[in-house]
Structure 1
Amino acid sequence: MTENVTRQESRGDQRPNLDALYDPPAERIQKAVLDHLVGFHVEYLKAATFFCLATGSERGFDASPRGGPPGFVRVLDSRTLVYADWPGNNRIESLRNLENDDRLGLLFLFPGLEIFMRINGRGRISTDPSLLATLKEGERIPKTATVVSIDEVLLHCGKAINRAKLWEEHFRIDRDTLPTVGQMLAEVARLGDAKASMSEDQIAQVNAHYQHGVRNDLY
């Protein structure tokens, strides 16, 4: 904090008066922030297929995607959720963060809808077999689940969705306009060793392996 203030002072910055810059939230918005789920929250969670998970530790903060079929986030009661941890890149930063700092935030996106749902609370990692069994997909049972105790839940307006034109078909990014996974890994290899290189065939193999894994090795 002191370092940040020093940086601001060295640039001649002044701490902005946020209350002067922004209007206070409407009373109806304030009243909609609850410490428990009500009926419409549950209906949205039944339809939810994607959220971003925020966790933190002494090293800093982390944001990580989570996805699954509708209902993959289960409501245990009005103050408790649970979701399974499924294979990703095996960094498991979110799980390691929760071991030391149980605070978390969940931001749900609903494809095609102009609304978000935010849940802030506390998370604990569970390996309870009976709980894990309720979260299985097909014959696959997750190794762990995260149980979320809710501190606050609120719906958030979708202006950011429209600014990004997120759900508009003609604003989808053409895959050929950006580097592929194989091309990115080839560049990372060169960063570690200027002589390291990957052939076009190797890059194509990496791309094919990634496409298969990201679409088929889900659980």
Structure 2
Amino acid sequence: MFQHVVMTERELRELLGHPHERALQKDLGRLDEHARAFIARSPFLLLATAGADGRCDVSPKGDAPGFVRVLDEAHLAIPDRPGNKRLDGMTNLLANPHVGLIFLVPGKEDTLRVNGRACIVRDPALLASLEAMGKRPELAIGVEVEECYLHCPKAFRRSKLWEPATWSGARELPSMARVRWAQAPIPGQTLEDYERESEEGLRRTMY
């Protein structure tokens, strides 16, 4: 399918060059006061994992700003809110602890990147501190920070992600319920019933 494929780092560097020294220096390897402030205001992150076979997964995690708890400059905890129980990311962690996180703050073009090693935690005291809407999570993902730095805003400026005028695509796409219905309709159930049940299920299992 693809031709002229780049196969070595040497070839890649010849094409794109090397990073500026300041780009290398921005990784502090810890959560300083600026990283902590960013995480405290972030309602959303992306969690990247890979299994032992190298197959990757990226999972969205979100809640009220500050839902991720910073324990100290080297550790943070992410509550596991109810989901679809596929557990793709968590099963990856059981085989390969390396993770990559990107924290977002709505309206801010910079992002915070955190890389490290993670584990699945059942500690009752920690889980109690991550309670939301009166519900304690069953599990949390604990992360030991190895890299931490702010990422430049170019992708957000090019995409104009935070500009409402560019959001027309969302209105043009069908709901997930309609897509799933088109892919696998349920005999004896109408699309309207399926959409209503899907929305009710979301509200019922948020926490």
Return the TM-score normalized by structure 2.
0.89
C-alpha RMSD over aligned residues: 2.2
| Residues 15/36 of structure 1: CA separation in 2 closer, same or farther (3 Å cut) | same
**Structure 2 matches for 1:158-169, cutoff 5 A?**
158-169=153-164
Matched length: 204
Q: Which runs of 5+ in 2 are unaligned?
A: none
Offset from partner CA, 1:106-136 (integer Å, 9 cap, x none)? 0111110111111000101111111110100
Name the residue aligned to 2:193.
Answer: 205
- Name the CA distance, whole Å, in 1 between partners of 2:70 and 2:177: 39
Greater Rg over alpha carbons, structure: 1
Offset from partner CA, 1:7-27 (integer Å, 9 cap, x none)? 97xx56563722122232222
Name the residue aligned to 2:17.
Answer: 23
1:128 pairs, out of 98, 118, 123, with: 123
Q: Give the match's secondary structure for 1:209.
A: helix
Query: Is the 1:116–1:155 Cα contact (8 Å) retained in structure 2?
Result: yes
State the identity %.
Answer: 34
| Residues 12/48 of structure 1: CA separation in 2 closer, same or farther (3 Å cut) | closer
Return the TM-score normalized by structure 1.
0.84
Query: Is the 1:110–1:116 Cα contact (8 Å) retained in structure 2?
Result: yes
Query: Is the 1:186–1:198 Cα contact (8 Å) retained in structure 2?
Result: no
Q: Give the match's secondary structure for 1:118.
A: strand
Q: Give the match's secondary structure for 1:124.
A: strand
Query: Is the 1:132–1:142 Cα contact (8 Å) retained in structure 2?
Result: yes
Offset from partner CA, 1:67-119 (integer Å, 9 cap, x none)? 01111111111000001100111111111111111111101111101111110
Name the residue aligned to 2:64.
Answer: 69
| Residues 214/163 of structure 1: CA separation in 2 closer, same or farther (3 Å cut) | farther
